[in-house]
Amino acid sequence: MNNKFKLTSMIFASTILLTTFSTTDVKAKNNDSLLISTHPKIDYNNFQVYNSDGSITVYDNLQDMQRDLNFNNRFLTAKAFAPGEKLVSTQKKDKVFLGYSKYTKTWTKASSYTLLKSETFSTGFTTKWDSKVNISYSISSGINTTIPANKKKFSKVAGYADITVKRYKVTQPNLSSSFYKNKVTYRDRYTKVKYKK
């Protein structure tokens, strides 16, 4: 009887021990993933973070993005350390073509265009450091805007943006090596008539 009781107790204790280790492991994994998923908006495929101020942070690879996000969540919240960021270069691009309006699918001779519905223009481009960036521009519904056009020419409505890309070298106290990231800001976004060449 005592042997059976001892055996049952040992099995029960082992089960509790295994469950404890298993649960702790799951929590650790969940915490690691939360360090990244709590950031405003992340595009893992293109290594981009869309910030609340409207800017976009673009990384050269996924590893650099994870390093930066994990560091910011772990240390900046505690205000224990601050990463070193040094501006190394700047690139300005004006009138970046974001594509045509989905409501002007064909070339038309029109005297004007009135924007009535919400719409998003978007495109991708490569910086001079070979980093790929996706940018967009949205028009809100309920705002009526009329754009004059030359009715003698074939035209469409298109979206454009003037942007600035700043490249930073990032060093962190917990890393021996540094990495780079780009911050994209919009100086202006607008719609205008584009004429057929």
Residue 26 has pLDDT above 90, yes or no: no
Residue 180 has pLDDT above 50, yes or no: yes
DSSP letters along 35-101, please?
Answer: HHHTSSEEETTTTEEE-TTS-EEEESSHHHHHHHHHHIIIIITTTS---EEEEEEEEEEEEEEEEE-
pLDDT at 137: 86
Average pLDDT over every residue of 171-185: 85
pLDDT class of 92 with cuts at 50, 70, 90 = very high
Average pLDDT over every residue of 146-171: 94
Cα gap 183→101, rounded to integer Å: 27
Cα gap 152→110, rounded to integer Å: 8
Residue 127 has pLDDT above 50, yes or no: yes
pTM: 0.69
- Of 74-78, 89-93, 117-121, 141-145, least confident by mean pLDDT is 74-78
Average pLDDT over every residue of 58-68: 91
pLDDT (tens digit, 9 = 90+) per residue, 44-56? 888 999 988 889 9
pLDDT at 70: 81
Q: What is the DSSP letter of 34?
A: H
pLDDT at 177: 80
Q: What Cα–Cα distance (Å) separates residue 132 from each residue in 3, 126, 175, 189?
A: 68, 4, 25, 19
pLDDT at 143: 63
| In the chain, % of residues over pLDDT 90 | 46
Q: What is the mean pLDDT of the chain?
A: 77
Q: What is the DSSP letter of 108?
A: B
Looking at per-residue confidence, does 22 or 43 come out higher? 43
Residue 73 has pLDDT above 60, yes or no: yes
